[in-house]
């Protein structure tokens, strides 16, 4: 079971990194967050219920680890962030035009408030249902639906403004 757990965890690393990136807004912070979360998961693997999906357990560990880090940082000063356009993790474009649109979309997503962008990425990119996202983020289902709607509406508005400004 330990080998299966480790193999499943390794296979999940790109998804964890994407999720961590949505929380941290920084490539280096995301990598550190994933590393810390994996260490916690490995040291507490006996607490994981194999009847439950490993990804939900890991996403919750990542989220809780980030919350702890934010609390620690609240007393620190001078922590900078890497601009969102420096990451290429979510892009897979075929043409230069597609790449520019994907880069703009990613920037718009990362410019949303964290509670909107993290939920939007969990549902739209990671494929979680609204109910699963509610459990993952420990918020009511109605709040998930409201935040996803608001995030999509803001993205649509911002993207139409960006497109409209170019024409």
Cβ-count burial 86-99 (b if 16+ within 10 Å, e if not): ebeebeeeeeeeee
Considering only residues 104 and 154, tell me which one the structure prediction assigns the higher pLDDT: 154
For domain 81-167, the CATH class is: mainly alpha
- Give the whole-number percent of the chain exceeding pLDDT 70: 82
Which regions of the chain carry the CATH code 1.10.10.10?
81-167
> What global pTM score does this model have?
0.57
Q: What percent of the chain has pLDDT over 90?
A: 23
Tokens of 73: 């940082």
Instruction: Please state which architecture CATH assigns to domain 1-80.
Output: Orthogonal Bundle (1.10)
pLDDT reported for residue 163: 65
pLDDT at 93 over 60: no
| CA dihedral angle for residue 35, residue 38, residue 40, residue 42, rounded to 10 degrees | -140
Tell me, what's the pLDDT at 114?
A: 83
Delimiting residues of CATH 1.10.1740.10 domain(s) in the chain: 1-80
Structure tokens at 61: 């560990």
pLDDT band at 143 (very low <50, low <70, confident <90, very high): very high
Residues with Cβ within 8 Å of 137's Cβ and at least 6 positions away in sequence, in order, are 63, 118, 119, 122, 144
Residue pLDDT, tens place only, 46-69: 888 888 889 889 999 999 898 888
Identify the band that residue 81 occupies on the pLDDT scale cut at 50, 70 and 90. Answer: very low
Q: How many CB atoms lie within 10 A of CB 162?
A: 14
């Amino acid at each position: 079971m330990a080998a299966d757990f480790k193999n499943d965890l390794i296979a999940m690393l790109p998804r964890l990194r994407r999720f961590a990136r949505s929380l941290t807004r920084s490539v280096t912070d995301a990598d550190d967050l994933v590393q810390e979360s994996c260490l916690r998961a490995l040291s507490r693997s006996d607490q994981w219920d194999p009847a439950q999906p490993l990804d939900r357990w890991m996403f919750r560990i990542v989220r809780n680890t980030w919350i702890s880090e934010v609390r620690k940082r609240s007393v620190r000063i001078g922590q900078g962030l890497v601009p969102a356009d420096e990451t290429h993790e979510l892009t897979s474009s075929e043409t230069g035009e597609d790449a520019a649109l994907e880069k703009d979309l990613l920037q718009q997503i990362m410019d949303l408030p964290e509670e909107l962008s993290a939920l939007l990425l969990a549902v739209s990119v990671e494929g979680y249902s609204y109910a699963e996202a509610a459990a993952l983020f420990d918020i009511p289902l109605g709040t998930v639906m409201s935040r996803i709607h608001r995030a999509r509406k803001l993205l649509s508005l911002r993207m139409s403004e960006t497109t409209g400004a170019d024409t």
